[in-house]
Structure 1
Amino acid sequence: MRILIGAVGRWKAGPTRDLYEDYRQRLTWPVELKEVEEKRALPDAQLRAREAELLLATLPRDRAGLVLVALDENGQNLGSEPFARRIGKWRDEGRNRIAFLIGGAAGHGGAVLEAAQFKLALGAMTWPHLMVRGMLMEQLYRAQQILAGHPYHRP
């Protein structure tokens, strides 16, 4: 399984990046992070549309075997085991790549939400988009361990 994370915003050194890197190094699945940023001050609707355009541009041209997941507050809330099962199902169907798109503070533009095959929420609370990267990475590592039957996850 290959993972692509397309994310709005650029990181600097700090604890949220350290958390992301810690779990990225533990994963056996290769992970690529592509950051995008619109520097112009735009009204929210225009900003969402522009960021959607930038995020969709991070996807490979050849999308065969790709599952596109938008992290969105209105997406499905999955526990860790159902999340792992969903990844396992995609893997078993021959889907060997998953792209997770993380929007900015204004949320996702309609183009991302329309293109997404799955919308995932990380709970009902609102999280800073830079923190979401580390949280997602931990859940990907946990899913990998659940699918491998490793005792890291203890329900």
Structure 2
Amino acid sequence: MRINLIAIGKKMPGWIQTGIDYYQKQLPREMNFNLITPEGQKRKNTNIKQVKETEGELLLKNSTGSNIIIAFDEHGKQNTTKEIAKAMENWQQNGDTVSLLIGGADGLSDSVKKQATQLWGLSNLTLPHSMARLLTVEQIYRAHSLLTNHPYHRE
């Protein structure tokens, strides 16, 4: 199994990056987790639809070779941790390569949503994209800990 978190934008607040680094280090090597951060497009005096399309092309280009593409969208299905753990268990058994996509500040292009295997939501709350990254990595770690009976996950 390989999990790629592909998120537009390179500049993250230090505390966000510290959190991502912490959870990323907790993941087992055999998970093959990668964080890929294509540069966001400049928005000043630019057509937002074109920005979303360009960023969408970057997301899809970086997900080449993935047999499962999950795009995070405010209208996507909100999964429980147990559902994410079950999905990860299936990915592991099938040897899947999974790309989790987080768009830029203006969201995802329609082409990304159409090409995605699934649309997932993180919360009904409006979240900064940097926070979405941190939550995603934490939930991957939490789902892994659930699958391995690690005491991190409690109900």
Amino acid at match of 1:25: K
Q: Verify the 8 A CA contact 1:67 1:95 in the aligned structure 2.
A: no
Say which is worse superposed, 132-141 or 41-50, in terms of deviation. 41-50
Q: 1:122 to 1:48 in 2, by over 3 A?
A: same
> RMSD across aligned C-alpha pairs, in angstroms?
1.5
* Counterpart-to-counterpart distance in 1, 2:43 and 2:82: 40
Amino acid at match of 2:111: A
Say which is worse superposed, 23-32 or 35-44, in terms of deviation. 35-44
Q: Verify the 8 A CA contact 2:2 2:95 in the aligned structure 1.
A: no
The aligned counterpart of 1:72 is 73
2:63 pairs with 1:59: yes
* Counterpart-to-counterpart distance in 2, 1:90 and 1:77: 18
Identity %: 32
* Counterpart-to-counterpart distance in 1, 2:51 and 2:59: 12
Q: 1:34 to 1:49 in 2, by over 3 A?
A: same
* Counterpart-to-counterpart distance in 2, 1:145 and 1:110: 34
Structure with greater proportional helix content: 2
Say which is worse superposed, 121-130 or 143-152, in terms of deviation. 143-152
Q: Verify the 8 A CA contact 1:3 1:97 in the aligned structure 2.
A: yes
Q: 1:49 to 1:24 in 2, by over 3 A?
A: same
Provide structure 1 residue ranges, at least 5 long, that are not aligned to the other structure: none
Structure-2-length-normalised TM-score: 0.90
